[in-house]
Amino acid sequence: MKLLVVGSVAFDAIETPFGKTDKILGGAATYITLASSVLGVDSGIVSVVGGDFPQADLDMLTGRNINIEGIEIVKDGKTFFWSGKYHNDLNSRDTLVTEVNVLEHFDPKIPDSMQDAEVLLLGNLHPGVQLSVLEKMKNKPKLVILDTMNFWMDTAWDILMEMIAKTDVISINDEEARQLSGEYSLVKAAQKIHELGPKFVIIKKGEHGALLFHDGKIFSIPALPLEVVFDPTGAGDTFAGGFGAHLAKTENFSFENMKSAIIVGSALASFTVEKFGTERLKEVTNQDLKNRIEEFKNLTSFEVTL
Amino acid sequence: MKLLVVGSVAFDAIETPFGKTDKILGGAATYITLASSVLGVDSGIVSVVGGDFPQADLDMLTGRNINIEGIEIVKDGKTFFWSGKYHNDLNSRDTLVTEVNVLEHFDPKIPDSMQDAEVLLLGNLHPGVQLSVLEKMKNKPKLVILDTMNFWMDTAWDILMEMIAKTDVISINDEEARQLSGEYSLVKAAQKIHELGPKFVIIKKGEHGALLFHDGKIFSIPALPLEVVFDPTGAGDTFAGGFGAHLAKTENFSFENMKSAIIVGSALASFTVEKFGTERLKEVTNQDLKNRIEEFKNLTSFEVTL
């Protein structure tokens, strides 16, 4: 199946305890489709960049078989730019600069070549934009995966609710799940979020892993304990990309296969954090991924005989 | 194998968002041996209580085949008492009262009937007391498991280091591991703690589960996601008790079996938090435990085909 990804293609400038970068390639759709390309899934991006966006980066995406017909280039506009500084624990960060630029008036256009995508992954953007993409698809996708954040809960609640009602799988972090549901217990939070629409609820817990809830069942996976987390930027998007791409590739939306998809997403995200930006993710081979999944297996498998 | 447990036998008064208790039975050694009794392991307690300690509680322990010859009763003394109030998230708490009482001059005495215990579980006490127990054992135990806390790092560093050097398995929480090692990354923290002596390092992460480190290998287990955590008191001690008892029962100290022991401990701890104090743990049957372990299996198992 084809994977259609809507989200930012952007510049980031990142500072961590280990160093800092100038403006480098970033954006949710970038990480998502790069993750997808490791699995060899046909994916396409719907996004917008400015005239300042390097042709080399577009070529890099195309070279990885990512359809960029849906990336609008606003010649006299500037690309979305985010700059942030991570604290020593790498679990929290300060945003230094956010220049929305061409994303402010983003009117997504779906190229004909991607109208038949069966899996739609809506990266974190204004829920109104996410909704408009869904409405513009001539064929209703078989699976809608939504990433969102607390900012939209604060500023666009009603339309976010409308978007969530049309979502099959929602992916949010623990604090966002608590805000969205008003429940502290993540089990109760997931129950309330199910009632809003999504049959599958993924709750991301950063260094503590992730949970998947569906129909009274729960799957829990720890994050791979890493000696050094170099740069967490893009980890969540990489996770979503690996997740969505595995589902598109296997064409199976069962709970059991969603568990596999979460492992694939977690494994890919564990590469992303090893270097700045997309640097490490771009190098990952299918064999690297297989080895990392084996590490997850070793990390979590056990037998008990009482 | 026999399991010898050194730790507090105490009174707790607990307040949670769901209610409060008067003085009820508590203490690390109590939870540890009750957990052990679910597995049918021969265990004994070395501790001290005051003349105010109810005979009925002693009888309850004896009735569960727990050897209490090592519980000294100081007739004119008062039993250790702790009172605390949990915050709404149940992850943090305020201590309201700590009355050390008879524990202040605790001079542990190991009854002859427990001198042949092969597994020694040192519950959280002053490291000098823990060390004295080890020195008083005529036969060196085959496995020494140590629980400790940040308070002793702050107040008794040198003797704590001496105790840790003689420890096979140390069990501490994530913040304590960071304090003990001076490392934020738990992988690095575990490496440094290995260098202090323990071949096995368990790092407890509360609602996020636990990690086991040994010889470059890592095992990670999430906590069972619970709809309601009623009272977290004793969860860590129950975990340690289930862990130690499984090892004593199976007489196998390999990494693979330590993984199983961690599952048993986690499963038992998930019962403890369901009611106040020891109430739920006392009811747990071997079949309950098997079912809960099956839930852990379902929670964490996955297959990935790329």
Report the complex ipTM: 0.87
pLDDT tier for residue B226 given thresholds of 50, 70 and 90: confident
Number of domains present in the structure of chain A: 1
Would you place residue B88 in the very low, low, confident or very high pLDDT band (cuts 50, 70, 90)? Answer: confident
Instruction: Provide the pLDDT for residue A297.
Output: 95
Q: Cα(B146)–Cα(B249) distance, rounded to whole angstroms?
A: 18
Residue of B nearest to A212 (CA): B299
Task: With CB atoms and an 8 Å threshold, state whether A304 touches B260.
Answer: yes
Mutate to test the interface with A, among B217, B288, B300 (most CBs of A within 10 A): B300
Instruction: State whether residue A121 is helix, strand or coil.
Output: strand
- Shortest alpha-carbon distance between residue B139 and chain A (Å): 28
CB-CB contact of A291 with A285 (8 Å): no
Contacts of A305 in chain B (CB under 8 A): 250, 260
H or E element in which residue A237 lies: helix A235-250
DSSP letter for B124, please: S
pLDDT value at residue B165: 98
Residue B95 in any domain: the answer is yes
Q: Are A68 and A36 in contact (CB under 8 A)?
A: no
- Asked if the structure places residue A114 within a domain, the reply is yes
Interface of A with B in 124-163 (CB under 8 A): none
Q: Check if A87 contacts B (Cβ < 8 Å).
A: no
Q: What's the residue count for chain A?
A: 306
Q: Is B90 left (phi over 0), alpha (psi -120 to 50) or beta?
A: left
Q: Is residue A305 part of a domain?
A: no
- Domain membership of residue B274 (yes or no) is yes
Q: Does B187 touch chain A (CB under 8 A)?
A: yes
Contacts of A88 in chain B (CB under 8 A): 184
Report which of B136, B121, B164 is spatially closest to residue B33, judged by C-alpha positions. Answer: B121
Size of interface A-B (CB pairs under 8 A): 105
Confirm whether B305 is domain-assigned.
no
| Whether pLDDT at A159 is above 80 | yes
Q: Is the pLDDT of residue B89 over 80?
A: no
Tell me what the pLDDT averaged over chain A comes to: 96
The pLDDT confidence band at residue B206, using thresholds 50, 70 and 90, is: confident
A180 phi and psi angles, rounded to 5 deg: -65, -35
Q: Could you give the percent of chain B with pLDDT greater than 90?
A: 93
Does residue B91 form part of some domain?
yes
Which tens digit of pLDDT belongs to each residue from B290-306?
A: 999 999 999 999 999 88
- Please check whether residue A306 lies inside any domain of the structure: no
Please name the member of A222, A226, A260 whose beta carbon is closest to the beta carbon of B209. Answer: A222
Whole-number pLDDT of residue A89? 77
Scanning A278-297 for CB atoms below 8 A from B yields: 286, 289-290, 293
pLDDT tier for residue B167 given thresholds of 50, 70 and 90:
very high
> How many Å from the N-terminal Cα to the C-terminal Cα in chain B?
44
Contact B248, B1 (CB under 8 A): yes
Mean pLDDT of B230-245: 96
Distance in angstroms (rounded) separating the CA atoms of residues A138 and A117: 10
Amino acid B227: pLDDT? 81
Residue in B208, B220, B299 closest to A299 by CB: B220
CATH value at residue B140: 3.40.1190.20
* pLDDT of A277 higher than 80: yes
Phi, psi (rounded to 5 degrees) for B142: -75, -25
Contact assignment for B228 to A185 by CB distance below 8 Å: yes
> Closest to B225 (Cβ–Cβ): which among A186, A262, A290?
A186
- Write b or e for each residue in A230-258: b if 16 or more Cβ atoms lie within 10 A of its Cβ, otherwise e: bbbbbbbbbbbbbbbbbbbbbeebeeebb
CA distance A108 to A135: 11
Helix, strand, or coil here: B83?
Answer: strand
What's the full length of chain B, in residues?
306
Q: What is the pLDDT of residues B278-287, one digit of tens each?
A: 999 999 999 9
- Are B184 and A286 within 8 A, CB to CB? no
Q: Label each residue of B159-172 as H, E or C.
A: HHHHHHHCCCEEEE
Residue B9 three-state SS: coil
Residue A20 lies in a domain: yes
* pLDDT tens track for A57-114: 999 999 999 999 999 999 999 999 999 999 887 878 999 999 999 999 999 999 999 9
Q: Which residues constitute the domain of residue B80?
A: 3-300
